Structure 1
Amino acid sequence: MALAVFPVVNRLRVALATWLHKFKVCGCSGSGFFGIGWFRMGSAEEKVVAVIMVGGPTKGTRFRPLSFNIPKPLFPLAGQPMVHHPISACKRIPNLAYIYLIGFYEEREFALYVSSISNELKVPVRYVKEDKPHGSAGGLYNFRDLIMEDSPSHIFLLNCDVCCSFPLPEMLEAHKSYGGMGTILVIKVSAESANQFGELVADPTTHELLHYTEKPETFVSDLINCGVYIFTPDIFTAIQGVSTQRKDRANLRRLSSFEALQSPATRSLPSNFVRLDQDILSPLAGKKQLFTYETREFWEQIKTPGMSLKCSALYLAQFRFTSPDLLASGDGVRSANIVGDVYVHPSAKIHPTAKIGPNVSISANARIGAGARLISCIILDDVEIKENAVVLHAIIGWKSSIGKWSRVQASEAVSVEDEVVVINSIVLPNKTLNVSVQEEIIL
């Protein structure tokens, strides 16, 4: 009987935290109920929770073949798993209580990484699996009891396939000054590329979100949504409102002939499937609930293997300021000649006559031969690059072998024999190339 009570208690926590945020009762904020520390005086004691959406195997097909044998969030960028970069950024958030990863992958695929990163950062990280798609906002709501377990005053929501500097502490301070329900990280892009993203209009003085539209057919604004958010617990009330309205409309359609006029997609959309952009951001724009924080640093989406090369280079450049100890160095005498930003895993073996960089990431147990030249590339685990081979703007997949004097320019268990040239090609696993190829897909 006690087990059945816990969800109800947690829903009460969500409701009370929302009420306290809205009315600031007695100057208290967000904690302390039933003797478990709900009322904590002062903003310094407020807890923050971060949620990172990592997707799942049914999505991200554009990232193949790299995602065939490893979850996309664990693919290395600048020598660290893709999801590691937003997690590390969350570590800088004041009063961070917990980090949750939400996705469709099996829990065993993240178990080792989650344990390792929790110990490394001294912050609890937990992966939770969705049983079915709930939408970007519905997925958050589905785990509301878990997210609100520590009674956080603020909730960060990040997308894993976003590459940026993640200015989360600054964003939190701006959000508190706005006093709204949510704040969206935004950036200006070219007018030609804006329609690939959610475009928005914000008040230049107050930063209030005035209008939001997802991938419009006609140009609206060069200000786009970066896929990084911070919310108060009020977000759960807003999501619940959408679900309730959808249920009411579904009941009305069942009682009328109006249902026959609806499209199949509209009729079949579940009430608990809530999209953050179309169902939350667009309706709340212009209602003094949502605000924006503009970043002037780098931002990209990681949708394709080619984009992972660019994002790896951006993170390597960021390491100069955040983690200089991760960058390799060498003068070409006792160690390889290192040029620019380069990451080398401690287990990798590189001949002193090799020249590496700029923008190169070399993973575990890689072997780089004498005279090899590597520029703007990602070398994955157990790769062998033989003497005098050249790799430019390429991703060399797990267990691949690049032959002597060969040239790979922009692949798992792929072998490139001696003196072969590969340019602008995609090579699927378990292939041996004994002839040169250019602008081909080798299946």
Structure 2
Amino acid sequence: MGTAEERAIAVIMVGGPTKGTRFRPLSFDIPKPLFPLAGQPMVHHPISACKRIPNLAQIYLIGFHEEREFALFVSSVSNELKVPIKYLKEDKPHGSAGGLYSFRDQIMEDDPSHIFLLNCDVCCSFPLPEMLDAHRKYGGMGTILVVKVSPESASEFGELVADPVTNELLHYIEKPETFVSDLINCGVYIFTPDIFTAIEGVTTQQKNRANLRRVSSFEAMQPDTRNLSSDYVRLDQDILSPLAGKKQLYIYETKDFWEQIKTPGMSIKCSALYLSQFRPISPQLLANGDGIKKASISGDVYIHPSAKVHPTAKIGPGVSISANARIGAGARLINCIILDDAEIKENAVVIHAIVGWKSSIGRWARIQASGDYNAKLGVTLLGESVIVEDEVVVVNSIVLPHKTLNVRVQDEILL
């Protein structure tokens, strides 16, 4: 355990509207970090995990969404968890390390000995206290959460090699073209304040290079050249890779689940993973029912208290039903997310799908997909205020907001 003098700060990177384009059309209506998984906004899950950090003084959310989009959420979750939370808006993208560095004065106000850095679009059990114990033992500048994946999928992430005895990070490469390791970076870190010195060193080098290099008039007109200033610093390529093998960085491997939430399909999978995590730690959040006075519940299911669910409905597994949703008699829901004010009418079926805000699914209609959460059309996705009329079938399709469907749709994107 740490000393009474130790203090920790947590920073959660939430990105901004220029990111998350793969999350459309859901991100048209709400910032991706606020999209609900297992009944809670996506960013609520890492925030809740940070609550378990010993001597936590403050949580910062850093991104370039407008502050007003996060104001209500920040106020609500601060009161709920009894921990100070503040949203810090970047004036422009600075990169994962540059964004941290740009707010170094605020972050260091509480004189923290440890700085936790998390990405909000990862889904895992966030073993932060265990990471902290390992970080203290290693005595380095930083500790990285890692997980073992299949060799086939490793190249989609940052791959790394570590000493099997000391856990020192020996080599790091972001999305390599050839296989390096089946250990990947989870996007969860602990650093000492020395991380700011490391980032400052990179920005100084980049400024010096910029001053020495002449840029042609053609290069100066290119978006990348104009926008990426010397204070744009990437944590992976600019910090982790150069410091590997220098007894500065170490790893902590999780044996639990881990996923990256890049697409709407993955949000269904991750919502189910979080629901399964509720079973041992927050069972009161899970619905129950026997099909008599309450709907028949199978597996892990979340139902918002304001939702109305007919007792003859069959719900689960892996289902999340949001506020003021209405589920009719005989409806069948499996592995899906039903958003606020949506209506599923009598005997409709929803499988591997997201039903958007204020959408309506008609009687005996069927909304389904293959359940390949990584495929572009592996889930069926209905945007806000989509109407599916009675007995209509929608399969493996994406429907943008405010559409009415009165014929079968399969393997289509309806703009």
Q: Which residue of 1 aligns with 2:372?
A: none
Q: 1:226 and 1:298 mapped to 2: Cα distance?
A: 11
Write out aligned runs for 1:243-254 (5 A).
243-254=203-214
RMSD of aligned residue pairs (Cα, Å): 1.5
Counterpart residue number, 2:373: none
2:160 to 200, 208, 213: 200
The answer for the alignment partner of 2:397 in structure 1 is 425
Q: Which runs of 5+ in 2 are unaligned?
A: 370-381
Q: Deviations over 1:20-71 (max 9, x none)?
A: xxxxxxxxxxxxxxxxxxxxxx723311000000000111000000100100
Per-residue CA distance 1:212-266 (angstroms, 9 max, x = gap): 0011111111110000000000000000001111122222335xxxx67x97789
**In structure 2, distance between residues paired with 1:231 and 1:349:** 46
Matches within 5 A, 1:275-354: 275-354=234-313
Shift of 1:267: 6.2
Residue 104, structure 1, aligned to residue 57, structure 2: no
Alignment partner of 1:241 out of 159, 184, 201 = 201
Distance 1:389 1:267 in 2: 52
Q: Which has the greater radius of gyration? A: 1
Deviation at 1:285, TM superposition (A): 0.3
Q: Figure out how many residues of one structure are paired with residues of the other and give that number.
A: 398
Q: 1:272 aligns with which of 231, 239, 242?
A: 231
Instruction: List per-residue Cα deviations over 1:353-410 (Å, max 9, x = no partner).
Output: 1111111000000000011111110000001111111111100000000000111002
Deviations 1:153-181 (A, max 9, x none): 00000001000010000000000000000
Is structure 2 residue 380 aligned with structure 1 residue 408? no
Query: Is 1:78 equivalent to 2:11 in the alignment?
Result: no
2:347 maps to amino acid: N
Q: How does 1:54-203 map to 2 (within 5 A)?
A: 54-203=14-163
The residue aligned with 1:49 is 9
- The alignment status of 1:435 with 2:407, answered yes or no, reads yes
Cα distance in 2, alignment partners of residues 72 and 224 from structure 1: 24
SS at match of 1:300: strand
1:226 aligns to what? Answer: 186
1:245 aligned counterpart, secondary structure? helix
- 1:413 to partner: Cα distance: 0.5
Instruction: Please tell me whether residue 212 in structure 1 is matched to residue 184 in structure 2.
Output: no
* Cα-to-partner distance string for 1:70-119 (whole Å, 9 max, x where unaligned): 00000000010000000000000000000000011111100010000000
TM-score (norm. length: structure 1): 0.88
CA distance in 2, matches of 1:176, 1:408: 50
Alignment partner of 1:105: what SS?
coil
- Secondary structure at 2:28 match in 1: coil
User: How many angstroms apart in 1 are the aligned matches of 2:330 and 2:30?
Assistant: 31
Q: Which residue of 2 aligns with 1:374?
A: 333
Query: In structure 2, what is the Cα distance between the partners aligned to 1:236 and 1:210?
Result: 21
Gapped regions of structure 1 (runs ≥ 5): 1-41
Instruction: Tell me what 1:392 maps to.
Output: 351
